[in-house]
Amino acid sequence: MSAVIVVHGGARAVPDELAKASVDGVKVAARDGFAVLKRGGSALDAVEAAVRTMEDNSVFNAGHGAVLNADGEVELDAIIMDGRTLSSGAVSSVENIANPVSLARAVMEKTDHVILTSRGANQFAESIGVSTVPTDSLVTEFERKEWEKCKTFVTGVKEEINTQWAHDTVGAVAVDCVGNVACATSTGGIRNKMAGRVGDAPIIGCGGFADNFSGAVSCTGHGESILKVTLARLILFHVEQGKSVAESSQLALQYMVDRVHGAGGCIVVSPSGQWTATFTTKRMAWAAVDRDGLWYGLEPNERFNEQLTV
């Protein structure tokens, strides 16, 4: 079967000055992830590679480019999940880690646990030799200025108020040539969040879920709303009822709007290679690679295609 990867750079009102960089960034990440699949790598390897690319790109709120909490600190969350075995690893509120998605994978593969948080996650990183970076290196000058402007918590994506100042999650889903699916999601959270706040991103079934029997999902948007409706799992519930990944995504996102007034987005891929990128926010940068080339978009109902060069 043909391998597929889909990535997103966060569902929000992406400001015009970041629009091109956001689209360019997800296109690079999709190419990087697909390069792994093309040489026979697993879906798990592909989503990790794609998310690492976005964590290294300061235009996104994950790793480098992370937003600051109310105390002016960086707290990073990430999850990764293998649809073949339902194995999952996650970290929350970690500091000084440039690529939390890889630390999440280490939790999955090197511990008996699913999620480690804060000091314990950082201690685990040190115990396995994961290199740390100065926290200052993860924060852009732009973010420091915006944090100074906006020191009171705003719900941002939930209310679609002041979303030009909001940042959001990155994620990837993939199916490899043998039909295994995987997902990964990573974020710095919401600017001016309370210290210790954990959103949907590292929570299994909310920020992401992967199961070879139904598909893989990575979610983005207002974390508290996503948590309340367990969005990733809800999408796959609809898939399991026989609906397409596109219809399943639309139904679940609309339910979140109707039930808890939360906006967001998602990317989904099925074991057969069917995929979608759907959102109820003003914009979401996304990109996908399938047998027909590279697809990408930013605005609602927008889908461009170009020849893939990897």
Burial of 16 (0-12, 13-18, 19+ CB in 10 A): exposed
Q: Yes or no: say if 268 and 276 are a contact pair by the CB < 8 Å rule.
A: yes
Residue 281 is among the residues annotated as catalytic for this protein: no
Give every CB contact of residue 68 below 8 A, 6+ residues apart in sequence.
Answer: 74, 139, 143, 144, 147, 191, 192
Distance of alpha carbon 207 from alpha carbon 203, whole angstroms: 6
* Active-site pick, 169, 185, 187, 281: 169
Q: Yes or no: say if 101 and 51 are a contact pair by the CB < 8 Å rule.
A: yes
Q: Yes or no: say if 183 and 215 are a contact pair by the CB < 8 Å rule.
A: no
Catalytic center residues: 169
